[in-house]
Structure 1
Amino acid sequence: MIPVPRATYRLQFHKEFGFRHATALAPYLGRLGVSHVYASPYLKARPGSTHGYDITDHHKLNPELGTDDDFAAMVAAFRQNGLGQILDFVPNHMGVGGADNPLWLDVLEWGPDSDHAGWFDIDWDPDRRYLLNKILVPFLGDQYGAELKAGKLVLKYDEEDGSLAIWAYDSHKLPVCPLFYDQILGHDDPGLDRYSDLFSDLPMWRPQVAERARVLKTDLAMLTREIPSSRTALNKRIDALNADWKALDVLIQQQFWRVAFYGVAGDDINYRRFFNINDLAGVRMELPEVFRHAHARIVPMIEDGTLDGIRLDHVDGLLDPKRYFEDLRAATTRPFYLVIEKILAGHEQLREDWPVEGTTGYDFTNLVLGAMVDPSAEAAFTEFYRAFTGLSTPFEQIVRDCKIRIMENEMASELNVLGRDAGRIARQNPMTADFTRNILQRAIKQIVAHFPVYRTYIDMDGSQEAADRRDLDWAIAQARKAEPTLDPSVFAFLHEVLSGDIVAKPQSGFNRIAVLRFAMKLQQYSGPVMAKGLEDTTFYRYNRHVALNEVGGEPHRFGITAQAFHKANAQRARNWPNAMLGTSTHDTKRGEDTRARLAVLSDLPEEWTRQVSTWTRLLRVRQGDLDGSAAPDRNDEYLLYQLLVGSWPVELLERIDEDALHLYGERLAGALEKSMREAKLHSSWTAPDQDYESAMQDFASAALDPSRGAFLASFLPFAQRVARLGVQNSLFQTALKLTLPGMPDIYQGSEMWDLSLVDPDNRRPVDYARREAALDALHARLDNMEGRATLIRDLLEDWQDGRIKLAVTHLLLRLRAEKPGLFAEGSYDPLTIEGTRAERAIGFSRAEGEDRLIVLAARYPGVRDADPDWDGTSAELPPGRWRDLLTGRTTEGGAAALSTLFEILPVAVLQPAG
């Protein structure tokens, strides 16, 4: 039986938060009520990693987090406090560059002859012939020649193991192949002369060249330690090479790597990356040897019960995700919980034949957000956004334009390879031999740009689901319209290739393996293009309502109906009852309570319009920019106002503390910098526009300047109102996450207010001491059912300290512990709500055996604040007497007035009163 968690708590491990810190937290997490810690990756990663996804050794724990003993103590503390463990694991890529990944260094040293040459997804035979049997290493901050001449590339000798390597900036190790050691050792010193000859003899030791080289390097190290004159002679040889950049260049050109300026990667990279990140290299997890190596540590941890589950990162990067999931299941004898990071389009369903428990919850994040956003405000928001910014390009067109920009720049090399491979396939048959690489590449670019999902999933058997065929058909039909100058037969050919139809029958004239591998490679490409084009570009350009610009979201969809909300939950209850439900993660663009506040704006469209119109006058006029044409542009300005309203610190709502304001200003500046560079309009990571960025930051600083009090005097009253109303949305979101079908996850610290901005802001240290103290103080008082209503009223009155959210979270986690069957297997049915204000609430019931639960939650707090009358609207409760878990108050079955149910809180969690 799979050990499904009741609820998880995500911890972000890094150098400043290691195993000992987690050990100390175990009692608090146990008292809070979660059943499992959901840990960020903690296998060995590159030094200084803040996230752990840049793994360098699958067999070791990250030493920056603690020792093996520290880890064992943490596991023991978890068990003592009733906590299991879920581990975030990345199967798609490893961290490269630096000097920390022995597998990568071996490939750099030996090229195609390395034992691990096939482990990484490297194209050893690229069209760029200067890279034949070489790996491009694009880690230089300037042009290769400039850095070489400036002495930034230095030959060094490792006296411990007798190896030689070029070091870039003293941080990136580029091993010299031992086949060329003789050129460095020379013949001036007797000892070095002997080893020079021995190294020059290495080709005679094939296929044991690498093994022989390791022996020789060990012997060389011994020689240079024991005979000082030999070490001195070697130092002179190395110094001479480092002093002559032309001679050093000759040595570098002979290696199996080509070090280059990082900007070269977009055009010439010849290894698959994680998106467009050069120092994260894709690994071929479909190879059994690679799979066994990568799981040698975590499989035993599953078997011995250290781990109850795995969260898989970026599964769309895998060549064949389904096969990988099956291999992972087969690798263990003990069942385990398995969820995957998979972004689903609005019309897309998770594949029911995948042996997983569900996704990591981005679909839920956007579902519950949609339930908080009032669809009736869409027209007003759209009209004002267009009027204020002057932008009217449809969202879908922005997405396509951004995807094309990514394919023409950061990921152009991968597109070139797909065009080349498509051309090779076309030339296998006379009927398609005239399709040139350029024509095919143009068609491929349009097909990928129009893909409505991240990827499809054809496999080496050529099998493809109807959903894949539907999405492929749509993409190709749209691509044809976008490229009318291309012969339609090109798209017909690619359709047959990508669907596998072209090799469905024998004697097609095409190589079946080549066709299917090409189709699968394109699938691996379309996902990163979607991610970079949508999440990391479009979401920073389209600022109509930035709460909707969330991972897995569709910002052009403005809110959802109660019917759509219930349909999605019923589908999850039926198909994926154990899927993870998340509202904040390490990757969300904004914290859950920031989004909850921003959702309030849809309740106040007219007031929001008036406020923004006032703020822009106050700030622009002071700068002498009467027509609003100076930098920053109106779109970035509009983003700034939304970020301020959504993330304004609670401690700054009532009074301005200059130290706290300064800290917030630094956080805001970081978010704005990322937004400008990710948008790639006025600035970018590769070519920052300092003038524009300074104008944006100066504009934001002026808004935060207490000495220029006009803006803050206008802003604060509105921010206070939105923050107060946002509390209701936050409780709505929290209650639903903890009661709907699925397994809820709490991101570190978000049991109290999470008003974070985009990463790294959302990975700031958490004040656990305050949370522990608050829970300890609340624990006994919450046990008193008779006094619970008064307590909840008081906590809501003092909402600023976050204890109201902590109390609701704790009570519902306790309920999940008391009724595990109800939440793991309970039915889901919408609750009937009748009356003229029915759209302002959502309700549902859950039942399993004798256990029953009814949950009601009020929507649109801004609308209700302006018009608090429920006008007789009621929820139809089953017969009997019901007690609200959160307030202790009781109500009778039948038509229950929402005005009474929501008198204290905007949520009610009802159980039979007994």
Structure 2
Amino acid sequence: MSDLRATQRLQLHRGFTLDHARELVDYFETLGVSHLYLSPLLAATPGSMHGYDGVDPRRVDPELGGEAALVRLAEAARKRGLGIIADIVPNHLAVGGRDNPWWQDLLRHGRQSRYAGYFDVDWEVDDPLLHGKLLAPFLGASRLEALAAGELVLAFDAGEFHFDYFEHRFPVDPLHFDAILAHGDGDPLRALAAFDGTDESGRERLEALLDRQHYRLTHWRSAVDEINWRRFFDVTSLGGLRVEREEVFEAVHAKIFELIERGLIDGLRVDHIDGLRDPKGYCLRLRQRLERLRPGERLPIYVEKILGHGERLHLDWDVDGTTGYEFMNEISALQHLPEGEGVMTTLWRAFSHRPGFEQELVDARRLILDSHLASEFERAARSLLELARSEPGQRETPLGRIRRTLRELIVGFAVYRTYADIDGRPLEDQVHFEHARAFAAERLDPPERALLETFERWLGGEAPGGFAEPKRGLRLAAIARFQQLTSPVAAKALEDTAGYRFAAALARNDVGFEPDVFSLDVDAFHAAQLRRAQRFPRSMLTTATHDHKRGEDLRARLAVLSERAEEYAECVSRWVEQSGSIRDDPNVPNRGDELVLYQIIVGAWPPALGNEDESGMREFTERICSWHCKALREAKLASHWLFPDEAYEAGCRQFINALLLEARGASVRAEIEALVAELAPVGALNSLAQTLVKYVAPGVPDLYQGTEFWDFSLVDPDNRRPIDFERRRQALKRVQPLDHYLDHWFGGELKQQLINAALGLRRESPRLFIEGEYVPLVVGGAQSERLLAFARIDAARAVVVVVPLHVQALIGERRIDRPLVPARCWEDSWILLPQGFEGWCDALSGTTFEASARHQEEGRLAVSSLLATSPVALLVGDAVEAG
């Protein structure tokens, strides 16, 4: 198996199984990746399209083909020199339903279940109806209504009684079987007749039987206020695991470890590392186990971690890096022109009447704490209350004061979480805690400000290991509750709320992005790459994921709006004025939601789509309608997941249909199409630049499935649509001159060729790209500010990347029909090539650059020559032989 050079991300499900992946191994190898990077493999909820809702970690999912199919895939991969990286989900399992055997046993036996310690359940709540029980908020109505409607019924099969409710099964404690059987003289089927919920007496028996179980069935909305077990974010169908316990760690990973030991899996991607109680301890334990399973090998471990502003992944976790969201953010910000920020923000504020992003985020954090995660917040507050009761100087601290102080502290967090453990808060986390504490102090009264100082000590400022029990355990519990709460609050508030409420520039709103940071200059971008090369040279680099909000090429096109902000603002103002003829209701959609629509339509419009293509327009319209409905609910303003405003959503759908399909929207639609035609080639040039930088920058590039062609996808499930891999396979076989790909750039083959060329260099010189230097190159001349140039260098070879930035001003009024800047636009601009190398050749175009093409002094190369026929440059030079 080859060294880790690049990964091919594949989303597995019953429509794309392990055997489907096996059939494509030859294509992936020819393209140039070294590893297949698979979504979760273990048994998930039947019909799952992603695998993150696992139900049984002891077996490979049969819907994916089972273990036999994994063996076939691994064997085929080995023959082509490829490895496999598997996605694992140690934080949670799918609960509810009927397919999780651990959860079913927990419902059946409660605290006496052998799996009671597997799930993070608080059995000691104050509510007498819930004390010692598990809240089961899975009903679509009240319990009484579900019984009376005959939806919640007692059933018997396989030797046991259970309650059935649609797809859910709730086991009956076996201790109550005899009491049930008594109603049927020992015959279970006859006994069921006495428990008919549509009959008053039967309903009373059912309610009495339900009251004796180890769970309390309730309406799903009750989870917000009453749930007594940890979930994944606010998703009640996903229950948190206590993987920090050795028994749970072993059980959750047993199958994965077996597959690694057998050589079927060669690395791991850890989902949602911030959900774990002790990420550092988990990662170190995982590393130690992999070293024992495969001695002498360093199998890669990647963690799905979103880094906040100024945050760095901790070096002492002994992982190889993150899954690459920070790179995705960096390259996007680099392609935004800072001068566009003011215009686009003003446009948004004028029409939406919404506050700035910082206030949106603060408001969203408060909303999430007070609604979606109110139960989790209460558990954290009570954990601190219990700690206060153990401290002589804090015993009289009221719960209300704790709640107020804790709320402001969490609202002030600028990162997902800190990583305090038994040794206290790591030094690198201190600045983030201090930031939150300062935020809270400005908003609290003196008594709460004093309590903040106490919280600083309790929540990691003092090492819990320095205290005896029970104080040590109380502090560790409070720290865990706090840190496992700040993470979902951050995610729900930023990714799933504020990111949909603030839409000045949608390309700057994505997973792991900083929407309040509009742009990044070249020096800052170089600095970020140098840090990565030093700290995590094997960290993953991505520009598209199964979780992205907007496809990589959609974001690249929307970045062009920052260069044409004034013109775009004029267009939007005109469209809003003209939209009166399209609206069935003058208030639907509101102006903010309408502006969001225009921006997403401009960004997502497929390059080859024309108004005359009725079938294509209908498909595109349906995608936009689905996206907009989700966006409305995520924003939680005009509609909401918990209580959708179906009338408003229907009005928005009517508006979109009128805009994109009906005659009354023709004039606005024609203007949108004309703008897209101008933006698309420049956006494609941004895409090619983004692509090339990713494949040469320090780290391991990840290719999300299908994005070797253009990716104008929207948020899931749109970004998980079926991929025509056969078309991609055939395109890779047909090698054409670069001019051909430029002339036919709509199809995406140009992007695929660029990826293939870059990966070919990685195959030839793997260590250059992992261990070689990252060297920012000197650029000069009239258009030097519109260039990014860097080199990767080792003793034998140098690879140089030159890509254009913010080229709209170069093109000016001229419209280009291909993603290529006319050579004359570069005027006298030049780059300074690394010294000591010769034989420079562009790996994409095949053009060679000899001394005659350079300025003789200092090894300068004219950009007008370098980018005359190629949209970007990927130069290769070999070291000059000594003597």
Displacement of 1:620: 2.4
Q: Which moved more, 1:496-505 or 1:103-112?
A: 496-505
**1:668-679 to 2 correspondences below 5 Å:** 668-679=624-635
Give the AA of the match of 1:26.
V
Counterpart of 1:447 (choices 376, 387, 409) is: 409
- Within 1, Cα distance between the matches of 2:626 and 2:70? 33
- Within 2, Cα distance between the matches of 1:34 and 1:259? 49
Displacement of 1:267: 0.3
Spell out, residue by residue over 1:62-114, the C-alpha distance to the aligned partner (whole angstroms, 9 max, x if none): 11111332222222222222221000111100011110011011110111111
In structure 2, what is the equivalent of residue 417 of structure 1? 379
Spell out, residue by residue over 1:476-509, the C-alpha distance to the aligned partner (whole angstroms, 9 max, x if none): 12112122375422222212211342868668x9
In structure 2, what is the equivalent of residue 585 of structure 1? 545
Displacement of 1:519: 1.2
Displacement of 1:621: 4.2
In structure 2, what is the equivalent of residue 501 of structure 1? 462
Spell out, residue by residue over 1:297-351, the C-alpha distance to the aligned partner (whole angstroms, 9 max, x if none): 1112222221110000000000000110111112232131110000001210110
Counterpart of 1:176 (choices 172, 177, 184) is: 172
Note the aligned Cα RMSD (angstroms).
Answer: 1.9
Displacement of 1:857: 0.7
Give the AA of the match of 1:657.
D
In structure 1, what is the equivalent of residue 330 of structure 2? 367
Give the AA of the match of 2:322.
T
Tell me how many residue pairs correspond in the alignment: 853
Displacement of 1:912: 1.7
Give the AA of the match of 2:493.
G
Give the AA of the match of 2:753.
A
In structure 2, what is the equivalent of residue 261 of structure 1? 219
Confirm or deny that 1:302 pairs with 2:260. Answer: yes
Counterpart of 1:883 (choices 815, 818, 841) is: 841
Displacement of 1:725: 1.1
Confirm or deny that 1:896 pairs with 2:861. Answer: yes
Confirm or deny that 1:479 pairs with 2:436. Answer: no
- Within 2, Cα distance between the matches of 1:578 and 1:506? 39
Confirm or deny that 1:911 pairs with 2:881. Answer: no
Confirm or deny that 1:870 pairs with 2:832. Answer: no
Distance 1:648 1:121, change over 3 A: same
Confirm or deny that 1:277 pairs with 2:235. Answer: yes
Confirm or deny that 1:431 pairs with 2:393. Answer: yes
- Within 1, Cα distance between the matches of 2:197 and 2:547? 49
Q: Is the 8 A contact 1:858 1:902 kept in 2?
A: no
In structure 2, what is the equivalent of residue 399 of structure 1? 361
- Within 2, Cα distance between the matches of 1:544 and 1:482? 28
**1:202-601 to 2 correspondences below 5 Å:** 230=187, 233-237=190-194, 244-332=202-290, 333=292, 334=294, 335-391=298-354, 393-462=355-424, 464-484=425-445, 486-501=447-462, 511-601=471-561
- Within 1, Cα distance between the matches of 2:733 and 2:347? 47
Spell out, residue by residue over 1:738-795, the C-alpha distance to the aligned partner (whole angstroms, 9 max, x if none): 10110000000000011100100000000112111111112xx5xxxxxxxxx11221
Q: Is the 8 A contact 2:634 2:641 kept in 1?
A: yes
- Within 2, Cα distance between the matches of 1:143 and 1:650? 50
Q: Is the 8 A contact 1:11 1:748 kept in 2?
A: yes
Q: Is the 8 A contact 2:55 2:99 kept in 1?
A: yes
Give the AA of the match of 2:162.
A
Q: Which moved more, 1:283-292 or 1:865-874?
A: 865-874
Counterpart of 2:699 (choices 739, 742, 749) is: 742
Give the AA of the match of 1:425.
L
Q: Is the 8 A contact 1:156 1:238 kept in 2?
A: no
Spell out, residue by residue over 1:619-663, the C-alpha distance to the aligned partner (whole angstroms, 9 max, x if none): 1244388xxx6121211111101110111022314x521111111
Give the AA of the match of 1:772.
R
Confirm or deny that 1:186 pairs with 2:182. Answer: yes
- Within 2, Cα distance between the matches of 1:504 and 1:395? 40
Give the AA of the match of 1:674.
K
Displacement of 1:165: 0.4
Q: Is the 8 A contact 2:694 2:701 kept in 1?
A: yes
In structure 2, what is the equivalent of residue 164 of structure 1? 161
- Within 1, Cα distance between the matches of 2:184 and 2:663? 73
Q: Is the 8 A contact 2:383 2:481 kept in 1?
A: no
Spell out, residue by residue over 1:252-311, the C-alpha distance to the aligned partner (whole angstroms, 9 max, x if none): 011001111110001000010000000100000011111111111111222222111000
Q: Is the 8 A contact 2:2 2:83 kept in 1?
A: no
In structure 1, what is the equivalent of residue 143 of structure 2? 144
- Within 1, Cα distance between the matches of 2:114 and 2:300? 34
Counterpart of 2:668 (choices 711, 724, 736) is: 711
Displacement of 1:449: 0.7
Distance 1:453 1:240, change over 3 A: closer
**1:666-705 to 2 correspondences below 5 Å:** 666-705=622-661
- Within 2, Cα distance between the matches of 1:734 and 1:505? 50
In structure 1, what is the equivalent of residue 817 of structure 2? none
Spell out, residue by residue over 1:405-424, the C-alpha distance to the aligned partner (whole angstroms, 9 max, x if none): 00100100111111111111
Confirm or deny that 1:842 pairs with 2:782. Answer: no
- Within 1, Cα distance between the matches of 2:334 and 2:126? 51
Give the AA of the match of 1:109.
R
Give the AA of the match of 1:263.
R
Give the AA of the match of 2:70.
F
Spell out, residue by residue over 1:809-830, the C-alpha distance to the aligned partner (whole angstroms, 9 max, x if none): 1111111101111112110010
Q: Is the 8 A contact 2:197 2:203 kept in 1?
A: no
In structure 2, what is the equivalent of residue 211 of structure 1? none
Distance 1:572 1:506, change over 3 A: closer
Spell out, residue by residue over 1:15-63, the C-alpha distance to the aligned partner (whole angstroms, 9 max, x if none): 1111221111111111111111100001000111111011111111111
In structure 2, what is the equivalent of residue 224 of structure 1? none
**The residue matched to 1:410 in structure 2 has which SS?**
coil
In structure 1, what is the equivalent of residue 819 of structure 2? none
- Within 1, Cα distance between the matches of 2:623 and 2:15? 19
In structure 2, what is the equivalent of residue 58 of structure 1? 57
- Within 2, Cα distance between the matches of 1:622 and 1:165? 54
Q: Is the 8 A contact 1:503 1:510 kept in 2?
A: no
- Within 2, Cα distance between the matches of 1:117 and 1:622? 57
Spell out, residue by residue over 1:699-729, the C-alpha distance to the aligned partner (whole angstroms, 9 max, x if none): 2112102523111221111011111111101
Distance 1:683 1:486, change over 3 A: farther
Give the AA of the match of 2:165.
A
Q: Is the 8 A contact 1:8 1:744 kept in 2?
A: yes
**The residue matched to 2:381 in structure 1 has which SS?**
helix
- Within 2, Cα distance between the matches of 1:479 and 1:35? 48
Q: Is the 8 A contact 2:405 2:448 kept in 1?
A: no
Q: Is the 8 A contact 2:195 2:206 kept in 1?
A: no
TM-score by length of 2: 0.94
In structure 2, what is the equivalent of residue 68 of structure 1? 67
Confirm or deny that 1:89 pairs with 2:88. Answer: yes
Distance 1:178 1:652, change over 3 A: same
Spell out, residue by residue over 1:456-489, the C-alpha distance to the aligned partner (whole angstroms, 9 max, x if none): 0000233x22222221122112112122375422
**The residue matched to 1:650 in structure 2 has which SS?**
coil
Q: Which moved more, 1:236-245 or 1:810-819?
A: 236-245
Q: Extract unaligned runs of 5+ from structure 1.
A: 193-229, 782-790
Give the AA of the match of 2:410.
V
